[in-house]
Amino acid sequence: MEFILNTFQPIKQVKASEEVSNQLKQAIFQGKFSVGDKLPSERELIESFQVSRTVVREAIKSLEAKDLVEIKQGATGGAFVKALTFERLSNDCKDLFFLGQMSFNEICQARLAIEPIVAGLAAKYCTQEQATQLREANAHESDSLAYPETVFLRSRVHYLLADMCQNRFLMAIDKSLIQLVASIVQQFQPDTDKIHPAGLHNSIVDAVIAGDEKAAEEAMRSHLTEFIGLLAGIEEEYRNSR
């Protein structure tokens, strides 16, 4: 009996800020707040949780440290819900790329394994509203060739497909990989039409909107295979120029 009792640890009282943070985190994960939504104000949280301003601020800082919210300053500022990604991992991988210890090919091989699945799921669940969003994103991907706008425009279809797949884990991984490639490309800003010619998403968008899961998977696989080849050439030029 003494041995069994020795395996237990004393119970630690949970700090009020941790409880506030946990409840807000649960609300975010349950979808009560969507990406881009602003959390209730400090005053509203103080009244709702019956805690001090210090407790609320500590809770929000905890959410920020976990990459769940982004703090914006100013009259319209506050804590805004961020997209679920593996941002810290992405940042580390970006550093490894510029240190020459990771390549576009390695990053995109991961995308090649994941994004066809995402595209297939997007085709399975595509709604009329989402179909319209995909068409618009694809039609406007050349609205600007200036950085950083061009990176967002050429990645928009991929982000939408990730949102559509209805698998939050796949969505988070996919968006992190897309974000990683985009952040690296933005660093040395190659010619947009050279690294990602317009029209590469046409077959993917058509298949997803048609609800053809297999065709969407194949179209994405074909697109990424071509994209990896283009990235390899851009990376070689970048490495040789240093």
pLDDT for 14 equals 66
pLDDT at position 5 over 70? no
Assess whether 69 and 125 both reside in one domain. no
In whole angstroms, what is the distance from residue 68 CA to residue 84 CA? 7
Assess whether 75 and 91 both reside in one domain. no
Of the candidate ranges 6-10, 62-66, 81-85, the one whose mean pLDDT is the lowest: 6-10
8 Å CB contact between 35 and 82 = yes
Give the whole-number percent of the chain exceeding pLDDT 70.
92
Assess whether 124 and 102 both reside in one domain. yes
Assess whether 179 and 223 both reside in one domain. yes
For residues 220-233, give the mean pLDDT. Answer: 91
**Counted domains in the chain:** 2
Q: For 85-89, which contacts have Cβ atoms below 8 Å and span 24 or more sequence positions?
A: 85/172, 85/175, 85/176, 85/179, 86/172, 86/173, 86/176, 87/176, 87/179, 89/176
What's the whole-number average pLDDT of the chain?
Answer: 88
**pLDDT tens digits, residue range 157-200?**
999 999 999 998 899 889 989 988 888 888 888 888 888 888 99
Assess whether 13 and 125 both reside in one domain. no
Assess whether 57 and 172 both reside in one domain. no
The band of 95, judged by pLDDT with boundaries at 50, 70 and 90, is: confident
Give the whole-number percent of the chain exceeding pLDDT 90.
50
8 Å CB contact between 134 and 205 = yes
pLDDT for 1 equals 45
Domain span at 156: 87-241
pLDDT for 4 equals 47
Assess whether 15 and 116 both reside in one domain. no
For residues 215-219, give the mean pLDDT. Answer: 98
pLDDT for 10 equals 59
Assess whether 232 and 160 both reside in one domain. yes
pLDDT at position 239 over 80? no
Assess whether 51 and 97 both reside in one domain. no
In whole angstroms, what is the distance from residue 68 CA to residue 61 CA? 10
Q: What CATH number should be reported for the domain holding residue 200?
A: 1.20.120.530
**Residue at a domain's end among 58, 81, 104:** 81
Assess whether 119 and 236 both reside in one domain. yes
pLDDT at position 225 over 80? yes
**pLDDT tens digits, residue range 35-75?**
889 999 999 999 999 999 999 999 999 999 887 899 998 87
Distances (CA, A) of 107 to 94, 111, 184: 10, 7, 11
Among 179, 175, 148, CA closest to 164 = 175
Assess whether 211 and 131 both reside in one domain. yes
8 Å CB contact between 63 and 21 = yes
Of the candidate ranges 2-11, 13-22, 105-114, 177-186, the one whose mean pLDDT is the lowest: 2-11
Helix (H, G, I), strand (E, B) or coil at 35: coil
pLDDT for 160 equals 97
pLDDT for 125 equals 98
pLDDT for 88 equals 64
pLDDT for 85 equals 65
